[in-house]
A and B are shown apart, each in its own frame.
Chain A
Amino acid sequence: MRKKAWIILLILSVVFLLSSAVSPAFAKDAAEMMAEAAGDHAWWFWPLVLFVVTFALGIFAVLGGVGGGVLYVPIISGFFPFHLDFVRGAGLLVALSGALAAGPGLLKSGLASLRLAIPVALIASTCAIAGAMIGLALPTNIVQIFLGLTIIGICVLMLTAKKAEYPDVPQSDKLSSVLRIYGVYYEDSSGKEVDWKVHRTPLGLVLFIGIGLMAGLFGLGAGWANVPVLNLVMGAPLKISVATSKFLLSITDTSAAWIYLNKGCVIPMMVVPSLVGIMLGSFVGVRLLKIAKPTFIRWMVIVILAFAGIKAFLKGIGI
């Protein structure tokens, strides 16, 4: 199945590159086009740069252990000529597509839990709609300021948050018992079955109100917040938390994506190169994971994110 996705994405990227060459707008002389690109830029310049940059982002996202959306929105809004409305719309679709690509496999392997995701997703997706509506109603510079501050906050979270492989959950809480949120999965590394359950479910659900709001407001995938809440607050094992979080994005981002789509925040010439670039990059990233030095890459991602966060903040205050 993964091979199929590879082939489709490869074809999409080839189509994108080749279409640039056969399009009627390309009937111009190459030298003239290059001259245009150097000055006001030909139409294909920014989509092509977008494709290359998102390909790199896809690699860094996997190696740095973050979602594509969280890198995409601050970097593209900070350094590209696109309005934040379109960047957030594309960012949500990028995060959504990544989640759709990974979700089925994670569900079938039993690592992502539908039972854990359904109540959490209901709250997060409802709040993501509210977040998207607030984000589209607020002045762009205000959203940009808060985006910058959020990204800087995410960097701090990445630097300080701990992870627990198998959190200690002495007893399920009442709500999770009623909802039967528990399960068992096969741990490859130990060759053993791992039973899991969760606690502090009401607190976790309350925190997902904020996560949903931020996902919709900024067009960010919310994996950076999902995982700590599922793992550290609710006590789901790390693997279950990471997999369920990734799958969860397919629901949370769907609701916000519709609001952006209906509001006209989707330009296919931005969305398709971004989506293909980041997904292809992710596939390459997975392969590089075996030889890369994760600590170094993670630091690099944090530095890039911090830089993009500061840039977004400065752009918001007009500097």
Chain B
Amino acid sequence: MADPGKYVTPEQQLYAEMLEKGMYVGLLLLLITFLLYATGIVDPYIPLDKIADYWHQSATDYLHQAGIPDGWGWVGFLGYGDFLNFIPIALLAGVTIFSYLTIIPILLKQNDKVYAILAGIEVLILVLAASGLLKAGH
């Protein structure tokens, strides 16, 4: 049996480790925040028995009727159980950005400028998507 590590570049190994850590932390936090939310330990913004009044509407109507801001507005609602769950969800959606950031120094050290630039552009694209600056909607 060959050692799989010998087929893996240092940047790929580092990327994998970062992704793995982020994934486990994200899942663990999701467990904790969902527990706090669903058991009622932390009160939700939208009561559990009212959720069904919203999920059949479009996201635009849901935000409007529930009085929830779009973009990163959820950060202001972190005192509520339902919005606490957005922390691990954002972490799971953000771990790729951190993974890319960790490999850029290695790529530069190897003088692999093309891939360092590609990784840098990817980070910018993902940060732009995450920023909430790109508005979409009906």
Per-residue CB contact flags for chain B residues 94-138 toward chain A (1 = under 8 Å, else 0) read 111100000100000000001100110110011011101010111
Q: Which of B19, B24, B35 touches A19 (beta carbons < 8 Å)?
A: B35
- Please determine whether A8 and B24 come into contact, CB atoms closer than 8 angstroms: yes
Contacts of B34 in A (CB 8 A): 12, 15-16, 19, 268, 272
Interface string of A157-190 (1 = CB under 8 A from B): 0000000000000000000001100011110000
Q: Which residues on B sit within 8 Å (CB–CB) of A96?
A: 92-93
Query: Which of B16, B40, B94, B95 has the largest count of A CB atoms less than 10 A from its CB?
Result: B16
Given A19-B35, A25-B49, A114-B11, verify A104-B16 contact (CB < 8 Å): yes
Interface 1/0 per residue, A2-18 and B, CB below 8 Å: 00110011011001101
Q: Which chain B residues numbered 60 to 104 have a C-beta less than 8 Å away from chain A?
A: 60, 62-63, 68, 70-72, 82, 85-86, 89-90, 92-97, 103
- Bound complex: CA A262 to CA B121 (Å): 21
| Contact yes or no, A8 B70, CB < 8 A | no
A193 in contact with B48 (CB, 8 Å): no
Contacts of A193 in B (CB 8 A): 2
Per-position binary interface string of chain B over residues 11-48, scored 1 when its CB falls under 8 Å from any chain A CB and 0 otherwise:
11101110110111011101100110111100000011
Measured CB to CB, the nearest residue on chain A to B122 is A122
B137 touching A250, Cβ below 8 Å: no
Q: Bound complex: CA of A179 vs CA of B86, how far in Å?
A: 37
Residues of B in contact, count (CB < 8 Å)? 75
Complex contact A263–B70 (CB within 8 A): yes
Question: Shortest Cβ distance from B98 into chain A, in angstroms?
Answer: 11
Produce 1/0 per residue, A186-225, CB < 8 A to B.
Answer: 1000000100000000000000000000000000000000
Contact A251 B38 (CB under 8 A): no
| Contact stretch, chosen from A56-64, A147-155, A252-260, A309-317 | A252-260
A8 and B28 contacting across the interface, CB-CB below 8 Å: yes
Within 8 A of B (CB), among A72-129: 81-83, 85-86, 89, 93, 96-97, 100-101, 103-105, 107-110, 113-115, 118-119, 121-122, 125-126, 129
Q: A122-B125, A263-B59 are in contact. List 19 more A-B contacts (CB 8 A).
A: A5-B24, A25-B40, A25-B47, A43-B52, A108-B5, A118-B115, A122-B121, A126-B125, A136-B137, A137-B138, A140-B138, A179-B115, A193-B2, A254-B93, A256-B129, A258-B93, A268-B82, A271-B85, A275-B30
The 6 nearest A-B residue pairs measured at CB: A110-B7, A19-B38, A104-B20, A107-B16, A268-B85, A133-B136
Residues of A participating in the B interface, judged by any CB pair closer than 8 Å: 1, 4-5, 8-9, 11-12, 15-16, 18-20, 22-25, 41-44, 46, 81-83, 85-86, 89, 93, 96-97, 100-101, 103-105, 107-110, 113-115, 118-119, 121-122, 125-126, 129, 132-133, 135-137, 139-140, 178-179, 183-186, 193, 250-251, 254-259, 261-272, 275
